[in-house]
A and B are shown apart, each in its own frame.
Chain A
Amino acid sequence: MLFLIYTTFITSLSVLIPITYAFINYRNLPRAFKIILAFIIFSAIMNAISNVQARVYHLPTLWIFHIYTPFEFAFLMAFFAEYYSKGIRYIMYGISAAFAVFCLLNTLFIQNANQMDGYARSLDAIILIACSMLFFANNNMDLDSKWADNSSNWIVAGILLYYASSLGMFIFFNMVTKPGIMTSIIWCASATILIIEYVLFAIGFYKCKPQQTTSMSR
């Protein structure tokens, strides 16, 4: 019961923390942060659909992950693309499109809608981890402000923390659909990491100042 309350309600409602901060500070949000806000709202809607489907209608929800993954990837790549020059930005958009095709092929031929899209989510996580590391590698040279004063750092820290910690779970995604105490522990851990990600996003939105986003390679 406690597990149900935690993963269904507390985790789902924690999405309101970054959304609230984003709307309070909306005037100062650059484009990259508005993309993250759109991603959070999209996640919240998909999560709500999944919860209603599972808890109210007792219907399977695994197909939702197949739709969610390419959109999640596209949103986060669009966020990272904002920090690069036009050329690199188009390459990143191209990677997003290619990943969407991969997700579709994965769903059609490898992991159907009745299974978790473990391969797609694992690849998604690996690419996003690489993007986060690249961001920090480039941003480490920025000596205009303290690490904590740069709002983008908080957002990327949230992304890195979530996807790096969840990668293990994504690799064995289909195993965590089986009911059991161990599965519940893993889902609780994943939900906790998601809440931490949202808190880091909220700090990022809170710390956002006008004209904060600057290109690193322009």
Chain B
Amino acid sequence: MQATTDNIYVQMILGMCGALILVVSFILFSIRNQNRLLRQRQQFQAAEIVHQKDLLGAVIQSQEAERKRIGQDLHDDVGTTLSGLRLLIEMFKPADDKDQQYLNFVKSSKLTIDKIVKDVRHISHNLSPATLGYYGLAAAINEHSDIINQSGKLTVTVINDADAVLESLPLANATALYRVLEELMNNTIKHSGASKADIQFNSTPGKLIIAYKDNGKGLSGSTSQLKKGMGMQNIESRLLNINATCDITTKPGEGFHIQINYPVI
């Protein structure tokens, strides 16, 4: 009888150990299975992000190509035709070339044509800055800031301490960064009421840092709220497409500051 009782005790201990092993194994398998599924989903999501980025890249690329075509057409066709028209007006000789009305007409026509030519050139430049392709990002930004400075609405100062990195930028990435800075300057002119904006290019090993700040009225709200705006979304998607990131610092009355970090390979 004693042996039977002892046998039951041993069986109980064995049963407890067996159940313990079973449960631990079940939990471990469960963890492994769930983590595997999680990993698969993360891989799928990563692939989807890459696909989205490719699509975005294709959209931006075709947009840039279209802008370039329209810009060139404006510059070459409309610009040339206007110059021709100006020449034609200048060459026209009426019976009485001292007629005051005629002189006034010529003067005002030439002024109007000059204004249209200038505007067309600006529009063409904005659509596709030729400088960017020929002389790089720094020169294009300098040119754009000169145009803004001439308008007298805003004084833009460009400090370039990353010449070597900027020269080696691929054109597509330089265009993306140019568009971002252009959007920032437009925002400053339209919304901030700032009198001054600074753009500084810096580089650290493996990174190009672009700091943009203005002395405008700044913005309230969290960074995530700011990023919901159309302009900021454009900036975000362009930066995302070239694997760059940005940090925004702004407070009401303290201006707007953004730092763009672009990884240099």
Contacts and interface: CB of A to CB of B under 8 A. Distances in A.
Interface in A148-168: 148, 157, 160-161, 164-168
Contacts, number: 72
Interface string B1-44: 00001101111110110011011101100110111011001000
Tell me which of A148, A168, A178, A180 has the highest count of chain B C-beta atoms within 10 A of its own C-beta. Answer: A168
Given A140-B33, A148-B31, A164 B8 contact: no
Interface in A23-68: none
Interface of B: 5-6, 8-13, 15-16, 19-20, 22-24, 26-27, 30-31, 33-35, 37-38, 41
A52 B109 CA distance: 110
Contacts of A147: 30-31, 34-35
A136 interface: yes
Interface of B is mostly: helix
A146 B13 contact: no
A169 B15 CA distance: 8
Nearest first, the 5 closest Cβ-Cβ pairs linking A and B are: A168-B15, A182-B9, A147-B31, A165-B20, A164-B23
A183 interface: yes
A9 interface: no
A97 interface: no
Tell me which of A146, A176, A182, A183 has the highest count of chain B C-beta atoms within 10 A of its own C-beta. Answer: A182
Contact of A168 (B16, B27, B34, B35): B16
Interface stretch (A87-95, A100-108, A185-193, A204-212): A185-193
Given A148-B31, A161-B23, A165-B19, A143 B13 contact: no
Tell me which of B5, B10, B16 has the highest count of chain A C-beta atoms within 10 A of its own C-beta. Answer: B16
Given A143-B34, A143-B38, 8 more contacts: A136-B27, A145-B38, A164-B19, A168-B15, A175-B8, A175-B9, A182-B10, A189-B16
A169 B9 CA distance: 9
B13 A189 contact: yes
A164 to B, nearest CB: 5
Contacts of B16: 165-166, 168-169, 186, 189-190, 193
Q: How large is the interface on A (under 10, 10 to 19, 20 to 34, 35 or more residues)?
A: 20 to 34
A216 B16 CA distance: 31
Nearest to B15: A168
Given A165-B20, A168-B15, A168-B19, A160 B27 contact: yes
A118 to B, nearest CB: 12
Contacts of B12: 168-169, 172, 175-176, 186
A6 to B, nearest CB: 16
Contacts of A176: 12
A54 B77 CA distance: 105
A103 to B, nearest CB: 23
A168 B14 CA distance: 9
Contact of B37 (A143, A164, A182, A185): A143
Nearest to A157: B27
B235 to A, nearest CB: 30
Contacts of B23: 160-161, 164-165
A161 B30 CA distance: 14
B76 to A, nearest CB: 56
B162 to A, nearest CB: 40
B30 A140 contact: yes
A183 B12 CA distance: 10
Contacts of A148: 31
Given A146-B38, A175-B5, A193 B33 contact: no
Contacts of B26: 136, 160
